[in-house]
Amino acid sequence: MKHYDYLIVGLGLAGVAFCEQLQKSNRSFVVFEDGSQHSSKVAAGIYNPTVLKRFTAAWRGPELMTKSIPMYREIEDKLQIQIDSQLSIWRKLNNVSDQNNWLVASDQPGLESFLESAIVHGSNTSVNAPFGFGVVNQTGTIDTHQLVLAYAYDLKNKNLLMETSFVYEDIVQEEVCIKYQSIRCKQIVFCEGYGVKKNPFFKYLPLKGNKGELLVIEAPNLNVDVILKAGVFVIPLGDDYYKVGATYNPVDKDSIPSSKAKEDLLDKLQKLIRTDFKVVSHVAGVRPTVVDRKPLVGQHPKHERLFILNGLGSRGVLIAPFVAQSLFENIENQTALAPEIDIHRFLDAALLS
Ligand SMILES: Cc1cc2nc3c(=O)[nH]c(=O)nc-3n(C[C@H](O)[C@H](O)[C@H](O)COP(=O)(O)OP(=O)(O)OC[C@H]3O[C@@H](n4cnc5c(N)ncnc54)[C@H](O)[C@@H]3O)c2cc1C
């Protein structure tokens, strides 16, 4: 029998962020990961504290920038990888009214340090933006694919990773611990993303799921070194490669790239850029979105050793480190969770399940 403080199910952004908390606090743990969900592997990885559709702050946006981004920089140092690319976002303004709204927003307290007040007219003739751009600073991308691969590799070398599916039926809840196959642990933290739909303990929670797809293109004459945002994001990857995404589809729940999404992305891309390109890859995954657009964090209402860290939605990069720390402090020090992330807000659904 092996003994651990924690057993973690899932090594996407949520699992990585929780493992970081555990490693920092010298808690023992083992992770189960079966490759069944792809969200963190395909994400564009943008971090941006604002909502570019409405020119407002995102939920806890500026606060999460301070609390969450340092975790990725610590992982870069620890694993000797480069995953953080600091890039401004240039939001295409579509008309005069957009320009006026941008000027008003850039003056708002809390946003003024991110939104530049001057409207920018780039000189790049490959980009179609007659009304110019609003520029968002302190933004960028985390290479989430490289992050989860490097993190898994490191855990594997430390014998802390089981590359297999977690079998829910094998949980035996005892008074002082949980028995799972040949493992004993004090608590289990489920970080399964959309995979939680198969979890008999937490599937009652209103996680909806939203399929997203992304293309990688090669565009030798585009010459863009910021993130462009119009109907789609165009993110420079270097060597004339760009990520283009993403789609939002609340109906399909598989991770298979579709021709419909590809057409949709190409249609929006062609309205933004005027240069030749070719598509080199196409990926898909399901975002773990929640009805009230807030994370799902906390202790199972009936099983005190079972916890969930999920519901990162479309902003996993900024949210994961913050919710991982909140959950860790809740379990270890009984620090209350913020009510808007605590799964106790869905207690009625739990009692009916
Ligand atoms: C196309 C696309 C673009 C996106 N762009 C951005 C972006 O620009 N910025 C941003 O912040 N967010 C973005 N997101 C959202 C982001 O990807 C998610 O918020 C985040 O990755 C979710 O992380 P997670 O760990 O909760 O879930 P996941 O990444 O789905 O990880 C869950 C893990 O659990 C494993 N698992 C599940 N069940 C089991 C089981 N029974 N046994 C073992 N393992 C199991 C899965 O294999 C998976 O690895 C995007 C998502 C998509 C799809």
- Strands annotated E in 124-276: 133-136, 140-142, 161-162, 171-173, 178-180, 183-190, 210-218, 227-229, 233-238, 241-245
Residue 111: half-sphere exposure toward Cβ, Cα within 13 Å: 22
Q: Is 77 exposed, middle or buried (0-12, 13-18, 19+ CB in 10 A)?
A: exposed
- State residue 150's pLDDT score: 98
Look up the CATH number of the domain holding residue 259.
3.30.9.10
| Pocket residue to mutate for ligand 1, from 7, 8, 11, 13, most atoms within 8 A of Cβ | 13
Report yes or no on 59 lying in a domain.
no
Asked if 179 and 196 sit in the same domain, the reply is yes
Domain boundary among 231, 258, 287: 287
Report yes or no on 68 lying in a domain.
no
Ligand 1 site, residue 314, Cβ cutoff 6 A: yes
Which residue range is the domain that position 218 belongs to?
Answer: 86-139+209-287
Q: Are 237 and 216 in contact (CB under 8 A)?
A: yes
Report yes or no on 330 lying in a domain.
yes
Domain boundary among 266, 287, 308: 287
Q: What is the CA radius of gyration of the chain?
A: 21
Asked if 216 and 344 sit in the same domain, the reply is no
Domain boundary among 237, 262, 287: 287
- State residue 112's pLDDT score: 84
Domain count, the chain: 2
Ligand 1 site, residue 315, Cβ cutoff 6 A: yes
Asked if 325 and 213 sit in the same domain, the reply is no
Asked if 27 and 135 sit in the same domain, the reply is no
| Pocket residue to mutate for ligand 1, from 11, 16, 40, most atoms within 8 A of Cβ | 40
Ligand 1 site, residue 36, Cβ cutoff 6 A: yes
Asked if 279 and 185 sit in the same domain, the reply is no
Report yes or no on 225 lying in a domain.
yes
Report yes or no on 49 lying in a domain.
no
Question: Which ligand 1 atom lies nearest to the CA of residue 36?
Answer: 47
Asked if 121 and 214 sit in the same domain, the reply is yes
Ligand 1 site, residue 147, Cβ cutoff 6 A: no
Q: Ligand 1 centre and the CA of 214: distance in Å?
A: 14
- Measured in degrees and rounded to the nearest 5, phi and psi for residue 349 equal -65, -35
| Pocket residue to mutate for ligand 1, from 192, 203, 213, most atoms within 8 A of Cβ | 192
Q: Ligand 1 centre and the CA of 239: distance in Å?
A: 27
Asked if 176 and 221 sit in the same domain, the reply is no
Asked if 308 and 193 sit in the same domain, the reply is yes
Asked if 280 and 214 sit in the same domain, the reply is yes
Question: Which ligand 1 atom lies nearest to the CA of residue 211?
Answer: 53
Q: Is 157 exposed, middle or buried (0-12, 13-18, 19+ CB in 10 A)?
A: exposed
Q: Ligand 1 centre and the CA of 122: distance in Å?
A: 35
- State residue 163's pLDDT score: 98
Going by CA atoms, what residue is nearest to atom 46 of ligand 1? 37
Look up the CATH number of the domain holding residue 165.
3.50.50.60
Asked if 238 and 279 sit in the same domain, the reply is yes
Report yes or no on 80 lying in a domain.
no
- State residue 109's pLDDT score: 85
- State residue 111's pLDDT score: 86
Asked if 197 and 213 sit in the same domain, the reply is no
Report yes or no on 77 lying in a domain.
no
Q: Are 86 and 140 in contact (CB under 8 A)?
A: yes
| Residue that is written with structure tokens 């933006």 in the block | 129
Report yes or no on 74 lying in a domain.
no
Question: Which ligand 1 atom lies nearest to the CA of residue 285?
Answer: 53
d(CA 256, CA 211): 9
Spatial CA neighbour of 34 closest among 166, 147, 199, 157: 166
Ligand 1 site, residue 15, Cβ cutoff 6 A: yes
Asked if 9 and 107 sit in the same domain, the reply is no
Ligand 1 site, residue 143, Cβ cutoff 6 A: no
**Tens digit of pLDDT per residue, the chain (353 long)?**
899 999 999 999 999 999 999 999 999 999 999 999 999 999 999 999 999 888 888 999 999 999 999 999 999 999 999 999 999 999 999 999 999 999 999 988 888 889 999 999 988 999 999 999 999 999 999 999 999 999 999 999 999 999 999 999 999 999 899 999 999 999 999 999 999 999 999 999 999 999 999 999 999 999 999 999 998 999 999 999 999 999 999 999 999 999 999 999 999 999 999 999 999 999 999 999 999 999 999 999 999 999 999 999 999 999 999 999 999 999 999 999 999 999 999 987 777 77
d(CA 296, CA 285): 19
